Amino acid sequence: MFDFITFIPRAVMQGIPLLLGSTGETLTEKSGNLNLGIPGIMYVGGICGVIGAFFYEAGKTAQEMNTFLAILIPMLCCLAGSLLMGLLYCFLTVTLRANQNVTGLALTTFGVGFGNFFGGSLIKLSGSELPSIILTNTSNIFRRHLAAGDSTGVFGKLFLSYGFLAYVAVILALVISYILKRTRTGLHLRAVGESPNTADAAGINVSRQKYAATCIGSMIAGLGGLYYVMDYASGMWTNNAFGDRGWLAIALVIFTIWRPNVGVLASFLFGGLYILHMYIPSGMNLAVKELYKMAPYVVTIIVLILTSMRNKRENQPPASLGLPYFREER
Amino acid sequence: MEEKTAAVTMRNITKRFGPVLANDKVWLDIYRGEILALLGENGSGKTTLMNMLSGIYFPDEGDISIDGRPVVIRSPKDAFDLGIGMIHQHFKLVDVLTAAENIVLGLEGKLDLKSAARRIREICDAYGFEVDPNQKIYNMSVSQKQTVEIVKVLYRGADILILDEPTAVLTPQETDKLFTVLRNMRNDGKAIVIITHKMHEVEALSDRVAILRHGQFVGDMLTKNTNAQEMTNMMVGHAVTLNIDRPEPVDPKPRIEVEGLTVRSIDGILKLDDVSFTANSGEILGIAGISGCGQKELLEAIAGLQPVEKGSISYVNDDGTKEELIGKDPLAIAGLGVSLSFVPEDRLGMGLVANMDLADNMMLRSFRRGRSVFTDRRSPYRLAENVVRDLEVVTPGVSTPVRRLSGGNVQKVLVGREIASAPTVLLTAYAVRGLDINSSYTIYDLINQQKASGVAVIYVGEDLDVLLELADRILVLCGGKVSGIVPGRGASKREVGLMMTKLGGKANG
């Protein structure tokens, strides 16, 4: 019998980094910026958090650590790191009007390299035997959950057993959805992504909207990296362990047809598909496992085909996605 | 007549774009309770001048006063605050948003679409608009989109309205409706500026005209004290004749025979329903109809670009033998001398590549010719130079990308190229869309020359007055069906207009 009670919480935890990544990317794309640097930004978010936590944790025992600071320091480091990445992306694509795809891919390559470089340095510094850094104390704080999670049986296990960042991710997705759909800020942002010259003529500052959405989006995505290290991986940083989650987050944006609220459940589905291979007995044949790992991408392609076939305008990407805006260009 | 106050005074306005002087010390007064028609050829600086009033551009020199108070307009927002609203030629609307969302776009405060919708309905009732606040823009017709633009401006409390070629994309009926609304607004004390090329509209609608030529202010006068001839002469700078020639067709013989043509769009919508007609050589067959009634599909079917459900299209050779065009590949059809020039609403969509220069665009028609693997670059270059010279295309040179040219000049390049390919059948749609009067007449002359040399011309036009003067026969389409074919000589605008809206046009006629 398939063990749903252990599978679902694992799927959710697997899904949270994807949810944060895709919420950030959706917000960014709504402003017309196709930020393919998201995998790199999540990577940078993760390693910056690790750096912060590493220096705070160094030489302290679990008792000596202040809960508040142990969360605040890695969090601020993570946000600062991903914000800088977002700013860099904006400066290149909005101010200098560089090609968005090229810039994004470069940022991803850069982010992964940056993470691995500092990851490697920290491993050297810690003098560890293993090729990884283990921040158990910080991780324990990040993973703390309500006591009720353990005492309420199945319900607690399914809904209350996660670290606080998981709830932050869900709330952020819902809030961003609401902002995009119901508020003037969201309306203006969507207008910028759909038709920047219309927005400009209506008196909306296009560059400012793009900067704001992209930077905030980057910070949200960066939190995904932080969650992955501190919560999902129990505080263990290993170079390249983050894998292709960043790309999955971008796939998730398309899968959810640019709706972060849909992303909440969709990310859990993706998380489930991502780890399905561990729960389905496939014997010794590793190739089959690899096939299972493809499942999220296959599902995304199917959604792409379905939305293209239905051809509903609301389900299409923002019309000016990937295009630079220059007022005097005709 | 009551005393009117100048709402806007523009003095010594100068604007340069690099070396080009777009506006040179222009003076202009706009009054409340009056409709001012701003006239000028393409590129004479009308739109630039109005863009400075609406905050898109900033003047290099000169002063603007609103109600006698000097003002500085730096952004569209400043303009809104002063009560100035402009309806651009290319609509500034977000397709996936609703009318109401578009209308409140850029405003401050809490987003309350319900109360916005209520106010929109009030404005609509006051002036006789029809807008559904919750309808998405992409579901709207061109005229509905324009209405949304006007309501948007009024919603912001504008009492000085500028409309840049508002009728270019409207049917005669929609134009009449727009004019009624504009008159209502004038009577309500608003100042209205309308940029247009159509003389009969100027005469029908405006109270006063102001004329620009090559960026300079030529003069203004009351509409009732002038006439089309005088206005045109002032615009062009010399006397021009305003009659469109219509020589009797010489030896017309059937060239294209269309029989029971039925075309469906990809979505399965019936675009052409059992259309039959004959186009003769040496004759202009005008096609009239409300936009989207199958004109595009008809021309594309003849050119081989549109899959046909049933029916036949035959090309009749000089010796009387017929060739079926359906099923032939577009290249083979073009080889027979069937040439299509379609000017879409955005002018660049079909036929020209915006980022390529004039000579390369000429080459799109000729690159298959020649024997070697290398293309012949010299003859398209010469052709481009000829087109530039003959049609007076305003361009720095033939190696300028087409996208840098103004709309009218882009069209001259397109039409010039098609005519230069010496066709036996010329299919042309909206050839003068957005062109000023002088360029339009150049194009009519070109088409007439083709007719005189025995070409079968199929001319899809939007301006009924021109169709009635130019075409030998007029085929009227209504919802994809042939509503009737009338001789161009002696047909009345009313008759054709009715046929456009109702099959046969007879009912309650």
Same domain, B132 and B267: no
Average pLDDT value over all residues in chain A: 89
- The set of residues, in sequence order, having a beta carbon less than 8 Å from that of A94 and lying 6+ positions away, is A33, A207, A210, A211, A214, A324, A325
| Range of the structural domain that residue A132 is part of | 4-315
Q: Say if B235 is an interface residue toward chain A (CB within 8 Å).
A: no
Is A202 in Cβ contact with B106 (below 8 Å)?
A: yes
Q: How far is B27 from chain A (nearest CA, A)?
A: 25
Q: Say if A202 is an interface residue toward chain B (CB within 8 Å).
A: yes
The top-scoring range by mean pLDDT among A10-24, A299-313, B332-346 is A10-24
Same domain, B297 and B363: yes
Distances (CA, A) of A14 to A172, A244, B226, B316: 17, 12, 78, 70
Q: Say if A212 is an interface residue toward chain B (CB within 8 Å).
A: no
Distance CA B260, CA B262 (A): 6
Same domain, B198 and B314: no
Comparing A185 with B198, the larger pLDDT belongs to A185
Q: Give the N- to C-terminal CA distance of chain B in Å, as an integer.
A: 38
Q: Give the N- to C-terminal CA distance of chain A in Å, as an integer.
A: 63
Comparing B280 with B290, the larger pLDDT belongs to B280
CB pairs under 8 A between A and B: 65
Is A198 in Cβ contact with B92 (below 8 Å)?
A: yes
- The pLDDT of residue B347: 56
Q: Radius of gyration (Cα) for chain B, nearest Å?
A: 24
Question: Smallest Cα–Cα separation from A93: which of A206, A191, A177?
Answer: A206
- The pLDDT of residue B508: 40
Q: Say if B88 is an interface residue toward chain A (CB within 8 Å).
A: yes
Question: With pLDDT > 90 as the criterion, what percentage of chain B qualifies?
Answer: 21
- The pLDDT of residue B2: 46
Strand B160-164 vs strand B191-195: parallel, antiparallel, or unpaired?
parallel
Is residue A153 domain-resident?
A: yes
- The pLDDT of residue B175: 84
Q: Measure CB to CB from residue A198 to each of B94, B109, B138 and give the nearest one.
A: B94
Q: How far is A314 from chain B (nearest CA, A)?
A: 6
Is B94 in Cβ contact with A313 (below 8 Å)?
A: no
User: Which domain CATH number covers A126?
Assistant: 1.10.3470
Residue A1 has pLDDT above 60, yes or no: no
Quick: pLDDT tens for B46-55: 888 998 998 8
Q: Say if B104 is an interface residue toward chain A (CB within 8 Å).
A: yes
Structural domain tally of chain B? 2
Q: Say if B103 is an interface residue toward chain A (CB within 8 Å).
A: no
Q: Measure CB to CB from residue B80 to each of A191, A195, A203 and give the nearest one.
A: A203
Residue B413 has pLDDT above 90, yes or no: no
Comparing A291 with A227, the larger pLDDT belongs to A227
Within 8 A of B145 by CB-CB distance, chain A residues are none
- The pLDDT of residue B267: 73
Q: Measure CB to CB from residue B106 to each of A183, A190, A204 and give the nearest one.
A: A204
- The set of residues, in sequence order, having a beta carbon less than 8 Å from that of B235 and lying 6+ positions away, is B39, B40, B41, B44, B211, B213, B218, B436, B437, B438
Quick: pLDDT tens for A59-96: 788 888 888 999 999 999 999 999 999 999 999 999 99
Same domain, B355 and B422: yes
Is B95 in Cβ contact with A319 (below 8 Å)?
A: yes
Q: Say if B319 is an interface residue toward chain A (CB within 8 Å).
A: no
Q: Say if B97 is an interface residue toward chain A (CB within 8 Å).
A: yes
Comparing B446 with B119, the larger pLDDT belongs to B119
Distance CA B391, CA B397 (A): 14
Q: How confident is the model at residue B463 (pLDDT cuts 50, 70, 90)?
A: confident
Residue with tokens 């200098």: A96
Comparing B155 with B4, the larger pLDDT belongs to B155
Residue A105 has pLDDT above 60, yes or no: yes
Same domain, B303 and B208: no
Q: What is the pTM of this model?
A: 0.77
Q: How confident is the model at residue A101 (pLDDT cuts 50, 70, 90)?
A: very high
Residue B509 has pLDDT above 70, yes or no: no
Is residue B64 domain-resident?
A: yes
Residue B284 has pLDDT above 60, yes or no: yes
Q: Are B473 and B486 in contact (CB under 8 A)?
A: yes
- The pLDDT of residue B504: 67
What ipTM is given for this predicted complex? 0.84
Is B136 in Cβ contact with A204 (below 8 Å)?
A: no
Is residue B39 domain-resident?
A: yes
Is residue B509 domain-resident?
A: no
Is A187 in Cβ contact with B76 (below 8 Å)?
A: no
What are residue A41's DSSP bridge partners?
none
Q: How far is A267 from chain B (nearest CA, A)?
A: 26
Is residue A326 domain-resident?
A: no
- The pLDDT of residue B350: 62
DSSP A285: -
Is A191 in Cβ contact with B136 (below 8 Å)?
A: no
The top-scoring range by mean pLDDT among A110-119, A277-286, B34-43, B384-393 is A110-119
**B-chain residue closest to A310, CA distance:** B267
Is B111 in Cβ contact with A199 (below 8 Å)?
A: no
Is A184 in Cβ contact with B111 (below 8 Å)?
A: yes
Number of CB atoms found within 10 A of residue A49's CB: 31
Distance CA B280, CA B289 (A): 20
Is residue A330 domain-resident?
A: no
Q: How far is B167 from chain A (nearest CA, A)?
A: 21
Query: Sign (positive/negative) of CA torsion A250, A251, A252, A257?
Result: positive
**B-chain residue closest to A312, CA distance:** B96
Same domain, B194 and B266: no
**What type of residue sits at position B2?**
E
3-class state of residue B238 by DSSP: coil
Comparing B506 with B392, the larger pLDDT belongs to B392
Q: In what order do the strands lie in the sheet with B216-222?
A: B84-87, B160-164, B191-195, B34-39, B208-213, B216-222
Is B108 in Cβ contact with A330 (below 8 Å)?
A: no
Q: Max alpha carbon distance in chain A (Å)? A: 64
3-class state of residue B149 by DSSP: helix
Residue B505 has pLDDT above 90, yes or no: no
Is residue A61 domain-resident?
A: yes
| Range of the structural domain that residue B408 is part of | 254-501
Residue B5 has pLDDT above 70, yes or no: no
**B-chain residue closest to A316, CA distance:** B96
**DSSP element (H, E) containing A210:** helix A206-227
Is residue B459 domain-resident?
A: yes
Q: Measure CB to CB from residue A313 to each of B75, B96, B108 and give the nearest one.
A: B96
Is residue A150 domain-resident?
A: yes
- The pLDDT of residue B3: 53
- The pLDDT of residue B407: 67
Q: In what order do the strands lie in the sheet with B6-17?
A: B20-31, B6-17, B61-66, B69-71
Q: Say if A179 is an interface residue toward chain B (CB within 8 Å).
A: no
Is A203 in Cβ contact with B136 (below 8 Å)?
A: no
- The set of residues, in sequence order, having a beta carbon less than 8 Å from that of A72 and lying 6+ positions away, is none
Question: Smallest Cα–Cα separation from A135: which of A81, A78, A41, A60?
Answer: A60
The top-scoring range by mean pLDDT among A109-113, A310-314, B227-231 is A109-113
Is B104 in Cβ contact with A187 (below 8 Å)?
A: yes
**B-chain residue closest to A181, CA distance:** B111
What would the mean pLDDT of B406-420 be, rounded to a whole number? 77
- Give percent helix, percent strand, percent coil of chain B, each to the nearest 5: 35, 25, 40
3-class state of residue A239 by DSSP: coil
Q: How far is A182 from chain B (nearest CA, A)?
A: 7
**B-chain residue closest to A313, CA distance:** B96
Q: Are B166 and B87 in contact (CB under 8 A)?
A: yes
Distance CA A199, CA B18 (A): 26
Q: What is the 3-state secondary structure (H, E, C) of B70-82?
A: EECCCCHHHHHHC
B236, B263, B282 - which closes a domain = B236
Tokens of B391: 């049609």
Distances (CA, A) of B52 to B30, B91, B167, B324: 14, 18, 22, 55
Q: How far is A329 from chain B (nearest CA, A)?
A: 9
What would the mean pLDDT of A40-58 be, rounded to a whole number? 94
Long-range contacts from A172-175, C-beta under 8 angstroms, 24+ separation: A172/A20, A172/A23, A172/A220, A172/A260, A173/A19, A173/A23, A173/A260, A173/A261, A173/A263, A173/A264, A174/A260, A174/A261, A174/A264
Is B96 in Cβ contact with A314 (below 8 Å)?
A: yes
Residue of B92, B98, B352 to mutate, testing the A interface (most A Cβ within 10 Å of its Cβ):
B92
B179, B203, B236 - which closes a domain = B236
Q: How far is A298 from chain B (nearest CA, A)?
A: 28
Is residue A250 domain-resident?
A: yes
Is A194 in Cβ contact with B96 (below 8 Å)?
A: yes
Q: Say if B107 is an interface residue toward chain A (CB within 8 Å).
A: yes
Residue of B91, B111, B115, B145 to mutate, testing the A interface (most A Cβ within 10 Å of its Cβ):
B111
CA B461 centroid distance within chain: 10
Distances (CA, A) of A59 to A63, A67, A212, B126, B412: 12, 16, 38, 76, 78
Q: Say if A205 is an interface residue toward chain B (CB within 8 Å).
A: no
Tokens of B143: 């005229």
Same domain, B225 and B337: no
**A-chain residue closest to B156, CA distance:** A202
Question: With pLDDT > 90 as the criterion, what percentage of chain A qualifies?
Answer: 54
Q: Say if A191 is an interface residue toward chain B (CB within 8 Å).
A: yes
Is residue B216 domain-resident?
A: yes
Is residue A91 domain-resident?
A: yes
Residue A155 has pLDDT above 70, yes or no: yes
Is residue A327 domain-resident?
A: no
DSSP B357: B
- Give percent helix, percent strand, percent coil of chain A, each to the nearest 5: 75, 0, 25
Q: Measure CB to CB from residue A203 to each of B76, B96, B136 and give the nearest one.
A: B76
Residue B439 has pLDDT above 90, yes or no: no
Q: Say if B17 is an interface residue toward chain A (CB within 8 Å).
A: no
Average pLDDT value over all residues in chain B: 84
- The pLDDT of residue A326: 80
Within 8 A of A201 by CB-CB distance, chain B residues are 56, 76, 88, 92
Query: Sign (positive/negative) of CA torsion B278, B283, B287, B288?
Result: negative
Structural domain tally of chain A? 1
Is B94 in Cβ contact with A195 (below 8 Å)?
A: yes
Is A197 in Cβ contact with B97 (below 8 Å)?
A: no
- The pLDDT of residue A290: 79
Residue B507 has pLDDT above 50, yes or no: no
Strand B310-316 vs strand B283-288: parallel, antiparallel, or unpaired?
unpaired
User: Which domain CATH number covers B276?
Assistant: 3.40.50.300
Question: With pLDDT > 70 as the criterion, what percentage of chain B qualifies?
Answer: 94
Q: Measure CB to CB from residue A201 to each of B76, B97, B109 and give the nearest one.
A: B76
- The pLDDT of residue B1: 40
Residue B349 has pLDDT above 60, yes or no: no
Within 8 A of A310 by CB-CB distance, chain B residues are none
- The pLDDT of residue A119: 92
Q: Are A257 and A211 in contact (CB under 8 A)?
A: no
Q: Are B22 and B212 in contact (CB under 8 A)?
A: no
Quick: pLDDT tens for B236-253: 887 777 777 788 887 888
B182, B203, B236 - which closes a domain = B236
Q: Say if B77 is an interface residue toward chain A (CB within 8 Å).
A: yes
